């Protein structure tokens, strides 16, 4: 879980810098008279806020699971999946930011219908802003039909995950062959 948080934390830091820059122009937003500039500003602010809510929510969901692992309700489950959701369970600050993102994006759709900006805003709104954990079952490779204890099953799944990650690292460390020109 901690490893999964690292790249998101880096991207979130960069996103926060972009948000600060865009927020700097917010006080002058009412002064924008050109419809294209107004749509562009609202779309940019809505998208940055929406992405920030998604990224911060992802970080918090992983952190919460790491600090306090959930228990399965179904005894056959052996895996948790973090999936996009309309529910924002990461606090009131995230719910407020999500609502603000929706306001900006809806304003683009309402004030600039049938434009590329409205299409992009609608697309952004069609994606959930929150996250939720869904339990599932993953077959243990080579062990189908065997009666395994929860500990044995977890150990085998972890070993399989480690094998896959080792293979990925080998692939990443191989020198890339450049095409001949």
For residue 148, pLDDT over 70 is answered with no
37-50: b or e for each residue (b if 16 or more CB lie within 10 Å)?
ebbebbbbbbbbbb
pTM over 0.85: no
From CA 132, how far away is CA 85, in angstroms rounded? 6
For residue 115, pLDDT over 80 is answered with yes
From CA 11, how far away is CA 129, in angstroms rounded? 17
In this prediction, residue 123 carries a pLDDT of: 97
From CA 36, how far away is CA 170, in angstroms rounded? 48
Between 157 and 78, residue with greater pLDDT? 78
Look-up of token digits 């994606």: 127
In this prediction, residue 97 carries a pLDDT of: 94
Q: Are 65 and 41 in contact (CB under 8 A)?
A: no
Between 43 and 146, residue with greater pLDDT? 43
């Amino acid at each position: 879980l901690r490893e999964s948080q690292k790249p998101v934390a880096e991207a979130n830091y960069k996103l926060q810098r972009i948000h600060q820059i865009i927020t700097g122009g917010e006080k002058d937003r009412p002064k924008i008279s050109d419809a294209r500039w107004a749509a562009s500003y609202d779309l940019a602010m809505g998208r940055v806020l929406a992405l920030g809510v998604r990224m911060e929510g992802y970080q918090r969901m992983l952190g919460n699971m790491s600090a306090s692992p959930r228990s399965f309700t179904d005894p056959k489950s052996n895996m948790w999946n973090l999936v996009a959701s309309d529910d924002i369970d990461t606090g009131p600050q995230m719910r407020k930011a999500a609502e603000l993102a929706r306001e900006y994006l809806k304003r683009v759709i309402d004030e600039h219908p049938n434009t590329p900006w409205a299409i992009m805003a609608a697309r952004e709104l069609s994606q959930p802003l929150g996250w939720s954990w869904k339990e599932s079952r993953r077959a243990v490779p080579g062990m189908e039909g065997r009666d395994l204890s929860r500990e044995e099953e977890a150990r085998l799944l972890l070993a399989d995950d480690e094998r896959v990650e080792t293979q990925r690292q080998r692939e990443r460390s191989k020198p890339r062959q450049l095409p001949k020109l």
